[in-house]
Amino acid sequence: MLAIENLKKQFGQNVAVDDVSLSIGTGEMVGIIGRSGAGKSTLLRCINQLSEPTSGQIAWHGRRVTGLRGRSLRNWQRQCGMIFQQFNLVPRLDVITNVLMGRLSYRNTILSLMKVFAQEERAMAIMTLERVEMAAHALQRADTLSGGQQQRVAIARALVQEPSVLLADEPIASLDPRNARKVMEILRSINMEDGITVLCNLHTLDTARRYCDRIIGMAAGKIVYDGLSHELDLKSLQKIYGAEDQPFDEKITSTSIPQGDDTACPLTHVG
């Protein structure tokens, strides 16, 4: 279980994450939604300690992960696979080497610097690429891939870290709807088949509802909704997104009502 207690992250006078307390069970898939600037990315960055919280605590299975240094910090960051909107692959390296980068934290420094990987690690990388349907591109340079392909490679790189938690920060924001669906289906299958806890920042409510069992809504650094996705109602949406000038129900109907079958979550058949 991931337990977050009174987490606060402040940048000068700006409180990006404001007294957040949460507990996330092992194997959950949680969507985090909210307006731009609500604090979603900062929350994920605090969880994997890319960003040091101003105060508060985070623990994984009862072991504190805030304030870790050195090897313990690297171990925790290895356990937290990270996926970003802009994929963050090394453009000039081929696909398989990018995936093997996910193994670096398991290597000693010299081998890491020399990028020497064992046969088993290469086999593992290929198998993982097969899983995201990218094995055929193993030797292709990352900068020649489409966005959807790059994100699938980034997922493979995170998976070979053998993470317990996957933190995805707007993983589909730069993708077209078809690739977006594919990436979300992969994340959901990783969650269901491997039991990996997935926390996913999403900017479309529809996607969060379709793929995540639980939704956390953030506004101005605070959690304003935490519950089952299908129970998210108009009042909660107003708290998350604000009413703004436009009549709110108009805006919601366009984003919240499940679309036709072509976009339906295939995992409804699985679970």
Ligand X SMILES: Nc1ncnc2c1ncn2[C@@H]1O[C@H](COP(=O)(O)OP(=O)(O)OP(=O)(O)O)[C@@H](O)[C@H]1O
Taking CB under 6 A as the rule, does residue 220 contact ligand X? no
Question: For 188-197, b where at least 16 C-beta lie within 10 A, e where not — what string?
Answer: bebbeebebb
Partnered with residue 83 across adjacent β-strands are 168
Give yes or no for a contact between 89 and 142, defined as CB atoms under 8 angstroms apart. Answer: yes
Among 28, 34, 41, 198, binds Mg ion (CB under 5 A): 41
- The Cα 61–Cα 79 span in angstroms is 12
Q: What is the number of the residue whose Cβ is closest to Mg ion?
A: 41
Taking CB under 6 A as the rule, does residue 11 contact ligand X? yes
End-to-end, the C-alpha distance of the chain in Å comes to 22
* Closest distance to ligand X from the beta carbon of 41 (Å): 3
Among 27, 37, 56, 147, binds ligand X (CB under 6 A): 37
**Closest to ligand X by CB, 198 or 240:** 240
Q: Pairing mode, if any, of strands 222-228 and 214-219?
A: antiparallel
Among 38, 124, 167, 232, binds ligand X (CB under 6 A): 38
- The Cα 29–Cα 219 span in angstroms is 20
Among 7, 30, 34, 160, binds ligand X (CB under 6 A): 34
3-state secondary structure of 44: helix
Residue linked to tokens 């703004």: 244
Give yes or no for a contact between 215 and 33, defined as CB atoms under 8 angstroms apart. Answer: yes
Taking CB under 6 A as the rule, does residue 39 contact ligand X? yes
Give yes or no for a contact between 204 and 177, defined as CB atoms under 8 angstroms apart. Answer: no
* Closest distance to Mg ion from the beta carbon of 29 (Å): 19
Taking CB under 6 A as the rule, does residue 49 contact ligand X? no
Q: Which stretch binds Mg ion (CB under 5 A): 14-22, 38-46, 115-123, 134-142?
A: 38-46
**Closest to ligand X by CB, 124 or 205:** 205
User: Longest Cα pair distance anywhere in the chain, in angstroms?
Assistant: 60
Among 41, 149, 150, 197, binds ligand X (CB under 6 A): 41
Taking CB under 5 A as the rule, does residue 85 contact Mg ion? no
Taking CB under 5 A as the rule, does residue 207 contact Mg ion? no
Applying CB under 6 A, the residues found at the interface with ligand X are 11, 14, 16, 34, 36-42
